[in-house]
Structure 1
Amino acid sequence: MGTAHGEIGGGGLRLRVLGPVTVSLEDRQLNPGPPLQRATLWVLAAQAGHLVTKDRLIGALWGAAAPKTAEQSLYTYVAGLRRLLEPERGRRGPFALLTRSANGYSLARDACRTDAEEFEQRLAEARRYQAKEDLSAWLRELQTALGLWSGTALGGLPGPFCEAARTRLESMRQTAREDQADALLRLGRRQEALDALAGLIAEAPLRERARELQMLALYRCGRQAEALEVFHDTRSLLAEHLGVDPGVSLRRAYELILRADPSLAAGPSPMAVTAPGEIDRPRQLPRDPQIFVGRMETLVRLRALLAPWDGGDSQAVVAVTGTAGAGKSTLAVRAAHTVSDHYPDGQLYLNLLGATPGVGRLNPLDLLGRLLRGLGARPDSVPSDPDEAAAMLRDRLAGRRTLIVLDDASGLDQVRPLLGLPAGNALLVTSRESFAAADDCVQFVLGRMQRSESVAMLAKLVGAGRIAADPAAAAELTHLCGGLPLALRLAAARLMENRHTPLTELNARLRDERRALHELESGDLAVRASLQLSHDVLAGSGHELDRAAAAALCHLGVLRTPDATPEVVAALLEVPRDAAERAVARLVRANLAEPGEQGRFRLHDLVRLFAMELAERRLSERDSDDALDRVLGLYGTTARLAMKLIDPHRVHPPHEFATCEPLAMTGSTDASAWLERERPNVLAVAAQGMARRTPSLARSGAHLGFSFHWPLTFAGHHRDVITLGRQALDVGERLGDPEISALANGYLALGLGHTGRYEEALAHQRAEVDLRRTCGDSFARMRSLGNLAIVLNALDRHQEALSSAREELRIAREIGAAVGERHALVCLGAAHLGLGDVAAAMAAYVEMAALAKEAGDAMHRSDALMGMAEVHLRQDDPRSGAMLYDEALVLIRENSSRAMEPRCLGKLGRAERLMGRLDRARAYLRETLAVAQECGAGYWVDFAREELALLGESPQDGPSRTADGSAGAEGEEEVDAVGHG
């Protein structure tokens, strides 16, 4: 955002957004034009001084639902703003304040003052007074900042950019109101603190810090019983609305008040200043490097930027870039440890997998989700939209000082959602790619270490005496290693394996590898040569364990997974698990593998690249295929066993995976944990199998994806379902396999349907039905007809759905498929209901509920209960409907069917609204919105917003965004069943 004090033509243009949006010039109100034109001004003002491309502007205003006329509309809005900013320049300019380039537009940095910027500046000033313990000045600045507000931020401005800014500003306002109450309380103005908190708590009753301050204020007013009652009320609200207990700080306050602890007497509270919300203070940095030599000038400059000597705010973004093996990660971790005291609210660390060979980089949503979870956010509270997740992260970091270390970024785009964090927080990023184009970023490019530094590093690693005995050989070795820390470390490891090996012998081995010498000088290739030495030591050893470790490294090169377990190595090598575990432990000791949690491990990026090349050289195509096939078998059989433990009624298409014993599991909880933990690896292996030329591997890869359909659906990972479906569709077309093509179309349709993309789903579901006429058994045809009925019902084509469901029911009863009969009944019920025949609908649902209860099929029973509840709603009996939805919700949560929650919660909210219980309705609908956004259920996002609008809450403008960025369905009926597996 531009500076706040620019002048325009002798007068100041001011944009007020902390309430209804207004524009004034020298205290004269101006007409800023239609909402989208005002939104355009805000987007440009928020990024004043920087070029905003046309594509980014269009995305900011419309998101992925931009109309075809978006670019032309943008020209119109810019023209209108130019007339507003510089009316004296006419229609053609030239314009000095809102300029255009080939790629976009830029608003001059001092062109417009905004009250939002003044608000943030006041808060920053308040934090400085707070740090100095000047309570009166702290309170004064907070009150001045809050006095700038006159309503909801960015009132009436549409578009995803404005919505994200609105969320951030409103969250900062609530935090400032808590700070105001805190300051009043510390100044002894207890009643004023209570008055300030009353309004905040009425707006946001689940903010624990506000409740904690209220308890303390009441206690200091001599109202101990009321203070304790606040705690009990808060605990009930949290349990009812979020399903959680009060946080540590709130519980501690309760215990202190309960025993009338003397520490609660008037004066600075032991609880104040509590951080906004209940947020962890993580300490995630890897261990401070024990061997760190050189780079001292860079280290000093890094410290000066990240922890300024004058105590001011740190540099927003610091990037350490350079070639592989240059020591970027080690330097970053070392620098982070030296400045950790400057970041009392925590240090987060994340490996972004940006340059990991063969493994997809961490996408922005996963990156944001991991950071939010590191700050204490519950996994199910993280939004499924990257912009919303970024806004949530900014909210949690507002008023804090946290250091985020992002290791191995693939480039600027991967970390772009984290740019622009609140002042006081800092990003330290390492990457092989340049960050020169990043806003507000200082970049350090690491090259080779100086010879003196390299020799000192060797002395640290192998002993100063050994290096001093032959300084010329040591200098030559540093040259052969290219001055790269990783290559030097690996060379030193070889020397340490045999303390009697002279340096000249290692130098000779490196010189003999003429190609390796050339590669060594180039950086990346130097590491390859060193890794080859490491492998050769193991492979040529007289110890069987060493040779097994070398074989494990070679076979791990077959896989393209983020990490692995000994069980996977056992499948790759076709050896017992304990032998694989010993081989992995040997690789860890040889620094060729990095240990992780729960027995997991991963290969360093460069080691992985070496292992991939090693597999290509050492393994025949047949051996490589067989190894991958065994891993496909391990994951496939284990996934099916896990799903059987979770829900034995769901059906998987038959497939013979490679003979492999599934992993042992103790029950549904263990199974669910394994499925979620292994999800990235399963997706990667399935994709890898489907990409192979060998038909059997491609089919097994597709069936692994099919086997994972239900776990992904239950957890709401619909994007993954769609991705796997498209990959499998390619396999079917490539192999000319109608069975794979039919299954792929069906699963793809189910994934698309769950994200609200029903028209696309219909095309794929019809394709499956057509294929089932010529391939597949009766059960498969029945299944495809049932899933077709689901999509047709969702599109309000109930007569067609009725026909399809009746055919499904006929086949199910003919072949004795109980699960098909139940599914057909729920489809029939939905079709009858859509056609207005409530009696027939109720009869179908009642019959289905009885059959599902008898079979112990919780998912189908939930479907039936919700169908019966919907009939009651249609008959103006919301009380009976709410009771049935309550019963269904219990079943859904007991069976972890996350994807079914939005429908049940949303309809519960509607039923509560119809009964006039508006607070309960509002709570259910807010939860519906959160869960639907997480799952990418576009229909239910829209449903919740429309219902909340009826309760007086302003819904977000524009269509909902699904998990894959597409627009949610508008106007369709909800899906009444999750489909056959």
Structure 2
Amino acid sequence: MTAWLEDRQVNLGPPLQRATLWVLAAQAGRLVTKDRLVGALWGDAAPKTAEQSVYTYVAGLRRLLEPERGRRGPFTLLTQSANGYSLARDVCRTDAEDFEQRLAEARRFQAKQDLPAWLRELEAGLGLWAGTALGGLPGPFCEAERTRLESLRQTAREDWADALLRLGRHQEALDAVAGLTAEAPLRERARELQMLALYRCGRQAEALDVFHDIKRLLTEHLGVDPGESLRRAYERILRADPSLAAAPSATAVTAHGEFVRPRQLPRDRRIFVGRAETLVRLRALLAPWDGDDPQAVVAVTGTAGAGKSTLAVHAAHAVSDHYPDGQLYLNLLGATPGVGRLNPLDLLGRLLRGLGVRSESVPSDQDEAAAMLRDRLAGRRTLIVLDDASGPEQVRPLLGLPAGNALLVTSRESFAAADDCVQLVLGRMSRSEAVTMLAKLAGAERVAADPSAAAELADLCGGLPLALRLAAARLMENRHTPLTELNARLRDERRALHELESGDLAVRASLQLSHDVLAGSGHEPDRTAAAALCHLGVLRTPDATPEVVAALLDAPQDAAERAVARLVRANLAEPGEQGRFRLHDLVRLFAMELAERRLSERDRDDALDRVIGLYGTTVRLAMKLIDPHRVHPLHEFAACEPFALTGGADAFAWLERERPNILAVAAQAMGSPNSSLARSGAYLAFSCHWPLVYTGHHPETVTLNRQALEVGERLGDPDISALANSYIALGLGYMGRYAEALAYHRAEVDLLRTCGDAFARMRALGNLGVTLNALMMHKEALSSAREQLRIAREIGSAVGERHALGCAGEAHLGLGDTASAMAAYVEMVSLAKEAGDAMQHSDALMCMAEVYMAQDDPRSGVMLFEEALVLMRESRFRGLEARCLGNLGRAERLTGRLDRARAYLQETIVVAQECGADYWVDFAREELALLGESPEDGPSRTVDGSGGAEGSARVQNAARAEGSARAQNAARAEGSAGAEGEEEVDAVAHG
């Protein structure tokens, strides 16, 4: 490797410093992170001093490239940011880049059948070579680049020999291919060109010897037979086929231009796995079992790397007997980097020439050429395979071919709107198919030795054939690398796409092209779609909606909807139900890289903040529609138009659909170093409390609020810390872990002891009282409830007053004062009914039922428990049902209605397990044991994270101590944070 600065050669220093320059030059204009540089230079064997060495090499390069800048710069050619380094794109040029541009230009001339220009560009590109690429440069990156460039060189030399043959320069072609076959004796295309050159030089026997030689080498070294193309060339040479006398490009054209039967399909892959259902569908469309005419147009679409081309060629070979008049094949170059796509007229011209029309007879008018093609195909049965179409517009002149002919198209774009077209969208392979493919490519023994690692590798590749092939190539590069090691590298989001590269194939490059086509489009929706993909890299959510995209882009929703639809049509997003969509795992990693490269840190933070605002405002709107008595801690989220919700049922459905995304965004924000984002993330978590209570997702409540507690401690924010302690305690209480919950309640009370916010203190006292009751510490609970009641009445908190009455009633019941307990509950029922608070109403009914149970009147208890259960289910209080069902089962057992008891207790187990409420699972099992039954889902366990009373006391006190308090966390403890309508929301600081 050598370098010139203007016209002066530069001494680049030691090998690792030269390798550093190549890593930067190969990615000129793009940020190369320090971690990526270290990985490029040393891979997994990086020394502890690697980062310091990188600083040294960069400093050395800066002194060489800009000596006039001194030691401290400022430097303009090799710049540094917080994350890494970048070599300026406009001042750096490499001969490797020139070589690849020459190849691209050569392919363009080849597509136009301009053979002299094709040869000229190939010779110019090969003339740039002066030895082994990047000879002597160390490191994984340079090794991979060396392999890639050498592969391109070999392909270019084969193309060079091919061009010479087509121009009739057979001896020159033979000389050109001789050196290539000596260097790479297993390259089948080079051997085929050598055979053809020998035959045209009158050396038929030697040409046949070449075939026997390559067949022997393939068997010895790879254990495979020659491919179909090589075998066909051998057979044609063996029988001295007259077509061999002409150049391959002219084999379809005769002297008189009559119709010929082309056989242009590329060789079918030797290894093809899976896609059985799609193949059956393709065969049914292209070769109907009843002999009817085939479907006119069949489009195989899907994301980059889904295996569309391989599948299409495989299917075309499978149905070739159905098309006796020939099979035409064209690569439309719709997604080939650096090459202009075929325009419709060029496409028609190539098809007509393939069918025997002389070049000078091909019309120069597109409509005339299309008419000639239709005339040429009338009464025929021909299959035309068009690979890599840029979209329906590129092939529109071919739509409407005569019946009996078929068009098989592959594209990254949707063909759903094309006329008379059946579209098959190619998704990810199943895990079993993907593992089988790995076994075929990397070795069955290797996969069989660790099937779980192979299954994980298939998942990490997202079932994408291109990714699977690249992963297999990684494994084959080092046959001693265990699958688990490659899996570990792919799990690292920063390295995954880098690992999925081999030679000139890369998942990243394929996806980059799809993005760049959109970003460089002249249509605004395309550019918005590209921006949307970039911004989606900010989020870490399972899926998304157009509303989320609108928030990310800070754009109108209709523009976001069009952008999402465009991403789906481009197969960069996978559509879901109800307007939702998701990114394939590898597309998501690419989007994350895009966001890192294209958006500033502030832009990324602002986009995430807007999504937090979208979710925060919509969660609160949803809860207002479901239950206006429940309110949330006040926080000013970023202004965002919320999702459109029409009522309680719609709100419930939206909360359940979006729950994984809301929790993911809250967790992502709380993990941000940006204090403002972390604070908003914590308040989004607090806003999720009521939705999680209603649906019974209690473990998620605890997990989410533990992270919020870390935020409060990190930011030194006592309000966040107090609220997080409260919600953790409530979540633990729902699961019956009262001793753990008590510590968090006391921490909340301590934090608020000197707080001037009376509402917050009242709320904390009420929550504490419920847990004290659950632990049968009734005297302290009664004191806490009385203090809560006093504060509630002072500040006019009706919800707090009702909660305090319930807590006091529970304490009285625990102390044996059933009269006082019933009086408190009666007042609570009256106030709850008057306010229309269904949650506290159902809780008060259960509390009254528990008084009847304590008075040995289970029949009255059953009536009230049933009334409470109906009210709960009408209001969708799923998280509170386990307590009511369990007590109903116990009450029915005591009345002697054992079948009803059994049914309620079995249902208790189901609901409690869904909600993570272990206490009620155990309670129901113990009750079933008293009925002489062992429930189907396992033996009775004694699990009580609270460390509270166990054994016989547990059942005896179920209705009084544990039972009545079990769900009061939701309706009473947290209810103290409620308020009557919007007025009180505005009146309290932490409501």
Per the normalisation by structure 2, the TM-score is 0.49
Per the normalisation by structure 1, the TM-score is 0.49
Larger Rg: 2
